[in-house]
Amino acid sequence: MKTAGAWFLLVLVVCLSGCGVTVVPRATATAQVDPADNSISESRDGVSLKARLHDPEFASVLTEGNLTAFELTVGNRTGKSLSLPLSAFLLMDDRGTQYSPLPPERVNEILRRNSPYLLPYPYVGYYYLEDMEKASAARGFTSSRPYFAQNRPADALVGALDNLSLVPDAQVTGLIFFSIDLSRVNSVELRGYLSTAIKDAKADFTLPFSVEKK
């Protein structure tokens, strides 16, 4: 049994270290890249949108696919209040597949359901049972509830964005989640719309990223 468990852990480690990707922002005529934090930003009509990948290391969340988070900063310099629902954003890959952002309650549902198998966020993957038991014993408690390190997966929800409401001259920063397997695509575009009444191919904000396989 221990041999099988050790083999499983070895496969997991190889997968986490050898199956990763690097997500690189790509500048456009209107979007600028900041190499200091690997972010890309664009401004239009007094509204600014800045984005960067929040969790560059990831693995499968059981049958739910991958949880990938982008850190967004939205600035309002319009001189009036600005409201943006979560549906104002979407992700498009190079194959034309569209991904809608996951609301915080959906992310919470995934994390709660799969929590006994998760590594501390953002390293989402299987947690080896023997290591979990050792960690629990070392910390000296006898609860049967799953053990997590201080940086638990649920902590990701602290900064999760939902519907945005900004007063004039304000900005907000938070996380937006998508269920996407980045290892299967070559590039993605994070798109933002100031009006969600009509969404066409021309978004108000288009922030492209290339996905480079390691």
* 181: confidence class by pLDDT, cuts 50, 70, 90: confident
Reported pTM: 0.70
Are 207 and 24 a contacting pair, CB within 8 Å?
no
Are 25 and 33 a contacting pair, CB within 8 Å?
yes
Write down the pLDDT at residue 158.
63
Write down the pLDDT at residue 8.
33
Mean pLDDT of 176-184: 89
Residues 6+ apart with CB under 8 A from 151: 120, 121
- Structure-model confidence comparison of residues 129 and 82, the more confident one: 82
Q: Which of 14, 94, 90, 15 has its CA nearest to residue 60?
A: 15
**What's phi and psi for 53, nearest 5 deg?**
-70, 130
Write down the pLDDT at residue 28.
97
Distance in angstroms (rounded) separating the CA atoms of residues 58 and 146 = 20
For the cut 60, the answer to whether the pLDDT of residue 56 exceeds it is no
What is the DSSP pairing of strand 89-93 with strand 98-99?
Answer: antiparallel
pLDDT winner (highest mean) among 50-64, 113-127, 181-195? 181-195
For the cut 50, the answer to whether the pLDDT of residue 80 exceeds it is yes
Token readout for 25 is: 């922002």
Mean pLDDT of 144-160: 51
For the cut 50, the answer to whether the pLDDT of residue 26 exceeds it is yes
